[in-house]
Amino acid sequence: MSRNPDEHCKSTTVAADYDRNRFSSIPGQVFNFLDKRLVAKCFSQLPEGGTIADAPCGTGRLAEARLDAGYRVHGFDIFQAMRGVARQRLASHGGNFTCEVADSKERPPSGPVCDGAECARVLMHFPPEQQVQFLTGVAGLSRSVAAINQSLDSGYQRVRRRLKRWVGNQPSARFPITDENIKLRLKGAGLREVRRYRLLPVMSEAVYIVARKFDVPDRG
């Protein structure tokens, strides 16, 4: 049985050690580097100084890269502990980073509508209908693109996961999402895919999908 993120990320100890546990190994550092590079590509059409909603922002890992690139970021996370780490980490960015505690499966109560939105590494923790609710929440935060990061389920991915479990890693996807499923989830949330980037073809099934709302035209 995989761990439940709704319990796991509540703890301040888990939140404080979150990035070190995931991104300090060599593969973790490579993943982190590539991840940030792809997020930059996803938002390459957004002018510097624009606002990006980060849901969930977690410890502010991706927000930091967007802030460094000259954007303003508003983060949402369900857990105070994760948000606390993000605030501390991004304190030097002053008012360019703001955040609030929110369940992104519900419409955020006070979040601004931003120029773009990102949603990374979270959907697989929820059953299908809640994945759609989460994506609907994310779509509602952006007036143009949403960049969605998801590791897609495939035969290859299942073998990799089994191997990882075998060497003692904790399973990370409670509700794995196939390529077909993600298309359905996007559609359910009123989004259409306009571009896709693979993080590390062959090694990983992680993709970044750039999506737009059905009523927003693609301008390149």
Ligand X SMILES: C[S@@+](CC[C@H](N)C(=O)[O-])C[C@H]1O[C@@H](n2cnc3c(N)ncnc32)[C@H](O)[C@@H]1O
The two structure tokens encoding residue 194:
């306009």
Tell me the residue nearest to ligand X as measured from the CB. 58
**Based on CB atoms, which residue is closest to ligand X, 61 or 66?**
61
Instruction: Name which position in 31, 43, 71, 76 contacts ligand X (CB under 6 A).
Output: 76
Site string for ligand X, 81-100 (x = CB under 6 A): -x------------------
Q: Is 151 helix (H, G, I), strand (E, B) or coil?
A: strand
Strand partners, 207: 150, 198
Q: Where are the beta strands (DSSP E) in 1-78?
A: 51-54, 72-77
d(CA 151, CA 124): 8
Instruction: Name which position in 52, 58, 138, 145 contacts ligand X (CB under 6 A).
Output: 58
Instruction: Name which position in 61, 72, 74, 161 contacts ligand X (CB under 6 A).
Output: 61
Paired sense of beta strands 72-77 and 142-151, if any: unpaired
Of residues 7 through 36, those in contact with ligand X by CB under 6 A are: 9
Establish if 79 lies at the interface with ligand X (CB under 6 A).
yes
- Closest separation in Å from C-beta 59 to ligand X: 6
Q: Are 145 and 212 in contact (CB under 8 A)?
A: yes
Residues 6+ apart with CB under 8 A from 161: 171, 173
Of residues 104 through 163, those in contact with ligand X by CB under 6 A are: 104-105, 120-122
Strand partners, 177: 152
| Binding-site ranges for ligand X (CB under 6 A) | 5-6, 9, 56, 58, 61-62, 76-79, 82, 103-105, 120-122
